[in-house]
Copies of this chain bind each other. A is one copy, B any other.
Amino acid sequence: MAIEITNELLENVSTLIQEKQDQQISRFFEDIHHADIAEVLDDLTFDEAVYIIRLLDSETTSAVLMEVDEDVREKVLEQLSAKEIAEEIEELDTDDAADVIAELPEERKQEVIQEIEDKEHAKEIVELLRYDEDTAGGLMAKELVKVNVNWSVLRCVKEMRIQAEEVTRVHSIYVVDDEGKLQGRLSLKDLLMASTKAKIEDVYIPKVDFVNVHDYAEDVANVMRKYDLEAIPVIDELGVLVGRITIDDIVDVIKEEAEKDYQLAAGITQDVDSEDNVLALTRARLPWLFLGMVGGLSAASIMGVFQDAMDKSPILFLFTPLIAAMAGNVGVQSSAIIVQGLANDGIKGSIWNRLLKEISLAMLNGVILSFLLFLFVWVTKGNLQIAMAIALSLFSVIIVAGLVGTSIPLILDKYGIDPAIATGPFITTSNDIFGILIYFSIAKLIIGF
């Protein structure tokens, strides 16, 4: 059952390990879900984690290994022989098994695969290793229940009992022809209600959603979410049923995709979490900060060009942070809407329509904000010309920033680059520079320094 992992619990476990209370440790973990054991191991030191792994039975170990952080898994597997890893692999479904093997160093992969006793399992794993991890092939498992369209319900139930032993959750029963091509599906419920004398031909549902083995994981997620599917069959180029993807893997895809986009928007370039060490976090954060600094230096040199203005209208310089911040904010808003729309497959119509919409949006926001700024500067500083220059700049900057924020993700997407990198520091930095350039150019035109 679910447990809460508190600091107290972790300290108790550490104490038990120091005192080598193996029996008590085994008993403690016996009733705990493998996902919770994995969480405990993630929070212990590496030596403590290995100590506990050694006390667990093989089935639990393999399940726990699937759930722990990648670095913990890597270190535990380093301690095991190829034969020991192969034994863990035999306990796993083909998709998980392939994921674990894919993480091993090249030469160990070979060794481990050769040590797998169930040759059929090994063959299936080798097949799965061929696919890119971001595609349907990389997500699917070979475990599924399939029946031939020419069978009777009776034979079908018999065969299913054999096949079902290897499958954790049955979901749908897929119907194939003699060549293995996907023809349709049978629901467990229908089967539960059908007479044993019926033929599969007569009771199966010929309508079935499927994906192709090379489809992107994100597209598979969109299909399964849209049609509320809990499992989807995967076919190859010939229409042959080659695997099945279940919703639990898709939930992880959706979650990871969302977290990656969120981190990119915040200027974090690698998959890290709050529990990672300072070095890993720095590696993920420094690149965008460096980019931001280069942007700041560019802004400084642009301002340097307009330094004459400082003598004539020093007040202009007070508003540069405002202009830069607004350019950044507008750009991030526009790009976030587009990035989300692209991820949900919801951007329709041409780029030009999209930009036109953004212009009207920016004009509306721009008129309201610029008017307020104009009033404020005019009233507090009493200089109409400067108030006009600043307000007009803000208006132009909002429109340009909106256009930049809208078009950059669309262009990146067109060239096959993940548009999510466009939201965040990239847009903020480029808009800072654009913003300041526009600001001083307009000010120069109006005030004429």
Q: How far is the CB of A253 from chain B (nearest CB, A)?
A: 10
Are B189 and A293 in contact (CB-based, < 8 A)?
A: no
Does A180 make an interface contact (CB < 8 A)? no
Does A322 make an interface contact (CB < 8 A)? yes
Q: Which of A160, A226, A429, A436 has the most CB of B within 10 A?
A: A226
Given contacts A292-B326, A321-B296, A325-B428, contact A341 B278 (CB under 8 A): no
The listed residue (B227, B314, B354) touching A307 by CB distance below 8 A is B314
Q: Which residues in chain A, 399-434, are within 8 Å of chain B measured between CB atoms?
A: 423-425, 428-429, 432
Report the nearest B residue to A342, measured CB to CB: B274
The listed residue (B169, B272, B278, B368) touching A357 by CB distance below 8 A is B278
A163–B376 CA distance with the chains assembled, in angstroms: 68
Copies per complex of this chain: 2
A: interface residue count bin = 35 or more
Does A230 make an interface contact (CB < 8 A)? yes
Does A80 make an interface contact (CB < 8 A)? no
B-binding residues in A (CB < 8 A): 1-2, 5, 7, 33, 35, 43, 160-161, 164, 169-170, 188-189, 192-193, 207, 209, 223-228, 230, 247-248, 250-252, 254-255, 258-259, 261-263, 265-268, 272-275, 278-279, 281-282, 285-286, 288-290, 292-293, 295-297, 299-301, 303-304, 307, 310, 314, 317-326, 328-330, 332-333, 335-338, 340-341, 344, 346-349, 354, 357, 360-361, 364-365, 368-369, 372-373, 376, 398, 423-425, 428-429, 432, 436
